[in-house]
Chains A and B, each alone.
Chain A
Amino acid sequence: MTYIKPRFRHPELPKNKIGYAKADYEGAISTLCAGCGHDSISGAIVQSCYELSIEPHRLAKLSGIGCSSKTPTYFLSNSHGFNTVHGRMPSIATGAYLANRELIYLGVSGDGDSASIGMGQFVHAIRRNVNMVYIVMNNGCYGLTKGQHSATADAGAQSKTGSVNPFPSIDLVGLALELGATFVGRSFSGDKKQLVPLIKAAMSHPGFALLDVISPCVTFNNKPQSTKSYDYVRAHLEATATIDFVPHREEITVSYQPGHSASVELHDGSVIQLHKLAPHWDPTDRSSAVTRLLESKIKGEILTGLLYIDPESQGLHELEETVEVPLNTLQEEHLNPGSALLEDINNSFR
């Protein structure tokens, strides 16, 4: 295996609306294990950004620590990246978003990074509705330290070394719904058809968008008994609906039978189209998502797809009533009240 990635590009490669080829959204070659689910998610991120015609430098990618958090090196090499410390990416993303409201923030985390060491920060980023996409590459184990169970491992799950997890798993999707998250979705690294439109919809959502993506660890957690294995997930997958994402520039052409479809229009005019809807589920009704999720769990299914979206979501900047321009563009003349006002302040202390 080589670690040198050829920079050659075929001149005839198709380009997106802003003139970038898909290769322009790629990163360095992955050093993860061959077959790792995370690499498929990286591919879906590349695909989504290419299709959405995002200028790479208008997106910032952030991560914590762990296998999942290494992936930002493997996509979008023309974007600034920040590999922070373990479990603390949400606070860094919060600060970055406050400094510049105009960039797209893509956070990548893992189940250890989010459900254990970073649980506090994960919860509070949701509570503040930081405008970011938050992808959890969820494999139920600690890969970099050789396969210990994580907090999302299901009770009874068996690790490669044979140890059985006695504790119930933390369901990040259920938690996020409970916390009031404004966009909640779950997907599977092996289902690009579902994952790409979900990522695109999440990037267009003005608020915190959680995507819990089951991403099997081929080295430590891929025995068929594992609920995070390729075999198990494929056998138990259930979706709320199929999903299409239509950016606002495109006309909606396909039509579906009423009763089985729904569409949600986002603030920027883009539309999420949902088809083959699960019974008694409405994407904008939080309680129907919670109910549907519980039903699936009881049946032993893994419910994927868009679970909930609040089309009225307002990000932290709206809640904080900050100026429209990014705070990091403000200069002395905008920020410094000057010496005359300081003299008034001095007088108030005499």
Chain B
Amino acid sequence: MEQLNAVNDFVVRFANVNGTGSASANNMFAKAIFRMGIPVTPKNIFPSNIQGLPTWYEVRISEKGYLGRREGVDLMACVNPQSMAEDVRSVKPGGYFLYDSTKKLHPELVRDDIHYIGVPMTSMVMHHYSDPRQRQLFKNVVYVGALSALLDIEFEVLESIIRDQFQKKEKLIAPNIKALNLGRQYVHDNYEYPLGIRLERRDNVKDSILIDGNTACALGAIYGGATVAAWYPITPSTSVVSAFGKYAHKLRVDPESGKRKFAIVQAEDELAAMGVVIGATWNGARAFTATSGPGVSLMSEFLGLAYFAEIPAVLINVQRGGPSTGMPTRTQQPDILSSAYASHGDTKHILLFPSTPAECFEMTATALDLADRFQTPVLVMSDLDLGMNEHMSPPLKWDDNRAYDRGKVLNAEELEKIEKFGRYLDVDGDGVCYRTIPGTHPTKGSFFTRGTSKDEYARYTENGEAYMRNVDRLIRKWETAKQKVPAPELYQSENRHKYGMAFFGTTTYAALEAMALLRERGVELDALRILSFPFNDTALEFINQHEKVFVIEQNRDAQMRSLLINELEISPRKLIPILNYDGKPIPADTIEQQIIKTFQSESTQDDVHKAQVQAS
């Protein structure tokens, strides 16, 4: 029988039952590979359920450092009888199927083109542990032990992870290591190992960290000086605020008084969460919320108020599959348009698109600066894949000389010198006006904040000219913001090729891998990564300099493409959508195939490209 062979380049998938404590064992597996210096990408594929339904954990190992998802399972570790038939089917021919052999495998589940490795996990833990909960938990550790032998994971590395994990519960170290050894020993006694697919230590992760985007966003909010967090629980954003709470309790408690330098409000709904944020920022604190698509819909009214009354607000949008309740535990990038134009009337918002946890950290802190600088909402557009899965990321960095940009806020001394304060007077001509914080000065600087139309002195008016002066100034402010938001990243020193590709957020990993795959086939593309909205001139130039640009994203309606067309007045024919919206992170080969297909079906495309593609 054929067998798959590979060193440091394969996919392992775990099939578990939700709520059985498999997550920590699976994380240990991924982290061990990471600590062996080999790039790794773990992904949770989980149901909207707390206990009982099937859940999967997929680990891609890629020595070359490709961090996107890859289709096809090389090794399946299945400890869930419910999903076993599906799991057997998903293994690539020549691949491996590790299962709990306490119960004999049903003959229908036996394929003749894959390798079966049975380990009687249940009977082993029944024999070695007495506590029912421990039996369930250590079953997971037993299969990690078995895999350590099968794939050549360094045992000392696994031990080091267990020691780190149970620093404060030392009693648990020995039974965990025992469980690892049980699995390892069983393989040693019954199978030839390692398998054709295996690991070898490398030095390819350097100073990287393995962290999820939501934790990184939370740390960005801590470092960026947010003192008020308001939220309503919603998957997949919930862990942003729980991580903020966890770190705030460590890093933001006054050592002398034990009092907190932060406040967290679990609001009654997303409307109130956004209201608390706006109330706090109006009153001079830095504040943020985290939510997902349904929450953005509910917050839209307040986002419009913050836009029009010009109040800072930061919203971390951890996107999930829509519309409506959609696929709450699956990933997508489906809120581009609803976030960019959230709320009625002529409204638009600054968006930032992080693609790594390091950027989640950096962009959350930057969002707090931009919100203050431009007195407007800033939305950090993460997604479930980035937010809830661990990613290999550059380390989080903070320059101790970096000062918060609190924007144009007048203090009492400055107000003293001003004859007449006008909250919406464009003194500097950049569309950004000076604001005051309540309580600053006894007789100067007070004004009435409102969502209605107003003049330069914040007085209610229905005068059409005053209204237009105000909304036209908001566009001036928008133009100023264009120069301040993070510029797009180009992957070539100059644009050389006829075709380009544009992508953003979590699509980046797969897009860059696809670019390499296409290059191997002789198809060369220039690439642009969008980091923010409003789009800056580099994005327009990039599109203008190419005959066609593939816009790669994870939603049905090619929303980023629509936004580019709408905002940069680009001919729709010029932008070709490359889409993936099944709720799983976009894989590189999907992009590659769609681009190739476009080339093949394009009658107008030039012959050189055609020849290249056909030759490959």
The residues of A with any CB-CB pair to B shorter than 8 Å are 55-58, 60, 72-73, 77-85, 88, 90-100, 102-103, 120-121, 123-124, 128, 316-317, 320-324, 327-328, 330, 332, 334-339, 341-343, 345-346, 349-350
Contacts and interface: CB of A to CB of B under 8 A. Distances in A.
B451 A339 contact: no
A93 B272 CA distance: 10
B147 interface: no
Contacts of B272: 88, 90-91, 94, 120-121, 124
Contacts of B547: none
A350 B35 CA distance: 7
A342 B207 CA distance: 14
Give the interface size bracket for B toward A. Answer: 35 or more
B605 interface: no
B276 A85 contact: no
Closest 9 CB pairs of A and B: A95-B279, A91-B275, A99-B285, A80-B438, A328-B284, A95-B280, A99-B283, A92-B279, A95-B276
B451 A83 contact: yes
Given A91-B279, A327-B263, A99 B442 contact: no
A317 B280 CA distance: 13
Contact of A349 (B209, B265, B273, B443): B209
A98 B281 CA distance: 10
Contacts of B499: none
A77 B398 contact: no
Contacts of A349: 209-211
B275 A337 contact: no
B159 interface: no
Which of A56, A322, A343 counts the most B-chain CB atoms under 10 A from its CB? A322
Contacts of B222: 335-337
Contacts of B285: 95, 98-100, 327-328
A345 B396 contact: yes
A99 B257 contact: no
A74 to B, nearest CB: 11
B227 A85 contact: no
B439 A80 contact: yes
B223 A336 contact: yes
Contacts of A317: 263
B251 interface: yes
A338 B225 contact: no
Contacts, number: 221
Given A337-B223, A339-B398, A57 B301 contact: no
11 contacts: A57-B446, A60-B438, A84-B278, A92-B282, A99-B284, A99-B287, A124-B272, A327-B228, A328-B227, A336-B223, A339-B397
Interface string B35-49: 100000000000000
B261 interface: yes
B260 A320 contact: yes
A78 B446 contact: yes
Interface string B75-103: 00000000000000000000000000000
A324 B257 contact: yes
Which of B35, B211, B222, B438 counts the most A-chain CB atoms under 10 A from its CB? B438
Contact of B282 (A82, A121, A327, A350): A82
B279 A338 contact: no
A100 B283 contact: yes
A95 B446 contact: no
Contacts of A323: 254, 257, 259-261
Contacts of A98: 227-228, 263, 265, 276, 279-280, 285
Nearest to A121: B272
B41 to A, nearest CB: 15
B403 A96 contact: no
B599 interface: no
B443 A93 contact: no
A120 B298 CA distance: 14
B220 to A, nearest CB: 11
Contact of A84 (B268, B273, B305): B305
Nearest to A70: B460
Interface in B8-54: 34-35
Contact of A342 (B283, B301, B396): B396
A99 to B, nearest CB: 4
A122 to B, nearest CB: 10
A120 B56 CA distance: 39
B439 A60 contact: yes
A133 to B, nearest CB: 15
Contact of B279 (A96, A102, A330): A96
Nearest to B400: A339
Contacts of A96: 279-280, 282-283, 438
